[in-house]
Copies of this chain bind each other. A is one copy, B any other.
Amino acid sequence: MINIPIALDAMGGDFAPESIIKGADFALSSLICSDNYKVHFSIYGQEDKVMPILLKYKKLRENSTFIHVEDVVLASDKPSFAVRHRKQSSMARAIDDVKKGIVSGAISSGNTGALMAISRFILGTLPNIDRPAITTALPSIDKDFVLLDLGANVECNADSLFQFAVMGNAFAKAVLNRKNPRVALLNVGHEEIKGTDTIREAFSLLKKFESGINFCGYVEANDVLKGDIDVVVVDGFSGNVMLKIMESLSENIFTLLKKSIDYSLATRFAGLLLKFQLKKEFYRFNPKIRNGAMLLGLNGVIVKSHGNADSIAFAHAIRVAVNAIYNNINVKIASELNSVE
């Protein structure tokens, strides 16, 4: 049994601190129960706001330490401002304690730009990584695939795309348990002449590194969801578009499905008959269980939870962090990168 200490920024996101406290308690009782590890939380927040809620959750109280902080990162803070002026915020203090080794990772639903900037400033990047990438697993038809970058780098050079591929490969192995992950570059066509100079250059770099990575060349967006590819590498602009369009299109279709079911007595009855199967087939499309994106490439485990995450969603972000820490994701990335040279 190993101990996994994790820092929680209790002040970030639309429903803080309630969603964080309730989510952490839910995670302890339902999502991260294991004989292999034991999780302890350090909770950073403003005492008058957090304590009245924390007192209600016994399981969490017994497995956490509360640390009062004076300051909070605002959603409107520019990253550079947050780095300079929010050193005593719940977010910065949580990351500080990752740096000091007091905790093994930190989770925040707060300002993404600030979280990335403060993390880079305090933790730095792993050796041979120029820029961290935001990373998550998304649903294809029958399994999950890793997508990166989701928006940390709206413009990327070929070296960055190459490094994303190496990090995504390690993530797919360590967190998704894929043996020999199939890694591809997102492009507008399969042919080698397609895409931008940057993408073609990244293609060459990955071709040369074939021994270290199961590189499958280019993949088009319509083939990504067929389930053949484990890791999809793309710049942060297109990755952000892809992530958000997947979330909102699923939401639209499910809204229209509900509308169809709500139409009449007969269709509502049909909905009852289908309920169990629909829940089973579409469980993987529930955005709540998808919450928690890793800022991959930092010298520490930092997980970004969605700003509008509720307690269930936040609990899943905790699950992501625990998985990453338990599976030593950063040690594995570092060792894969060592083999590049």
Contact = CB atoms under 8 A, between A and B. Distances in A.
Residue from the set A195, A249, A266 with the largest chain B CB neighbour count within 10 Å: A249
Interface in A224-247: 224-226, 234, 236-238, 240-247
A282 interface: yes
B220 A244 contact: yes
Given A237-B238, A274-B260, A250 B253 contact: yes
Given A188-B154, A253-B253, A237 B196 contact: yes
A221 B250 contact: no
Query: For the side of the interface on A, what is the size category?
Result: 35 or more
Interface string A270-281: 111110011011
A225 B245 CA distance: 8
B249 A277 contact: no
Contacts of A282: 253, 256
B249 A246 contact: yes
Interface string A203-235: 000000000000000001111111000000010
A195 B113 CA distance: 13
A154 B186 CA distance: 12
A151 interface: yes
A67 interface: no
A12 B11 CA distance: 58
Contact of A269 (B222, B244, B257, B273): B273
Contacts of A272: 270
Nearest to A279: B260
A271 B270 CA distance: 7
A252 B271 contact: no
Contacts of A259: 277, 281
A245 B241 CA distance: 10
A248 B259 CA distance: 22
Nearest to A188: B240
Interface centre among A195, A241, A267 (most CB of B within 10 A): A241
A285 interface: yes
Q: Which 4 A-B pairs have the closest CB atoms?
A: A221-B244, A270-B270, A270-B273, A260-B277
Given A223-B248, A256-B281, 8 more contacts: A140-B252, A154-B188, A154-B196, A188-B237, A222-B248, A238-B238, A253-B282, A257-B257
Interface of A: 78, 140-141, 151, 154-155, 186, 188, 193-196, 220-226, 234, 236-238, 240-253, 255-257, 259-261, 263, 266-267, 269-274, 277-278, 280-282, 285
